[in-house]
Structure 1
Amino acid sequence: MVNSIIETIQKRRSIGKLYSPMPNNEELFTAIGCATVAPDHKQLQPYHFTVLTDVKLEEFGRVLLQAGEQRAKRLGEGLTKAARQKFINMPNRAPMIIAVTSCYRTHDKVPKFEQILAIGASIQNLLLAFTSMGYQSIWRTGDLCNESAVKHYFGVDDDNIVCGFIYVGSSDVIMPDREISDLHDIVTIK
């Protein structure tokens, strides 16, 4: 009953610290192509992918610092030197980051929540495609994801959101097999 697709799904893990090599352009576009064939009612493609590498990762670190400052100010807090450096260094955890943002479409048969589900399904396909190519990845979000500095950097208007950042690269971490829980606890057959 196990085949290569099931094996890829079962071995996919989130790996937090990644390094080169990263996908080349052909691999990147193949993976994004896989993302676009996820379930998507009326094929609205309510998502956008922005790929960051090299100096754009450094630039994004400065954007995250700005977002962290915005958040701290709103909460009436300050940022330590260490916290400031942490924001700047966040993008350095992978050689490639793909920001996935919504671009909702108005459609009388496809409500916003269905479009959000389509975005999530596309991200899962993206993660699985990279896993099948031998790369590691992690889907990150967090408090700064939809701060105005981050949304502005990615051209996201007030009606849309940043759905997450897909960090992609390589790793020599060997993750243990994941134990499958007792499915009878979460499945009802009627």
Structure 2
Amino acid sequence: MAIPNEKEKYSYADYLTWNEGERLELIDGKIFNMSPIPSRRHQQVLRELSTAFSVFLREKDCEVFFAPFDVRLLADNKRDDDINNVVQPDLSIVCDKEKLDDKGCKGAPDMIIEILSPSSVKLDRWKKYQLYEKAGVHEYWIVDPINNSVEIHLLIDAQYKFQGVFTKDDTISVNLFPDFKLDLNRIFA
């Protein structure tokens, strides 16, 4: 079914009726198109991050998911008709199994990683930043595959606190998993 242009605010129930081939997200009930498809470089960085987290989490209680994977935010105790925020982060790490269902994640993942592309910079750095902060995502990384950098934000007292920008030469810790060290040279190889 094609997406109607008549509504001012859409819900997850609307989202479920749309064409599966279209890559869309909902933020505050507004549609955001995720086209075009990610670049080869974007996919390489996503693969390396996904592999590193998957290997580390193999023996842990958390799971890593990569797009397409629906994350319904600010959805606690809400019906599909009342959920207005559905995103597909590049990587989502979920430690609370109660939030997982056959449709994806209902509630805030513990950590989200977005990989910038030219068409997503404003969305990832502003709209999603605000949404993830409001929803209670503990750790938010913005990865820039062009400049080989990772920007880290941690949720402290319900607000994101900037932790720094790290580059290809750095090895960084994941706040959620202090014993996990990530060599960015390997990620951006």
TM (norm. structure 2) is 0.27
More helix by share: 1
TM (norm. structure 1) is 0.26
Question: Structure with the greater relative contact order (CA < 8 A, sep ≥ 6): 1 or 2?
Answer: 1
Q: Which structure would you say has the larger Rg?
A: 1
More strand by share: 2
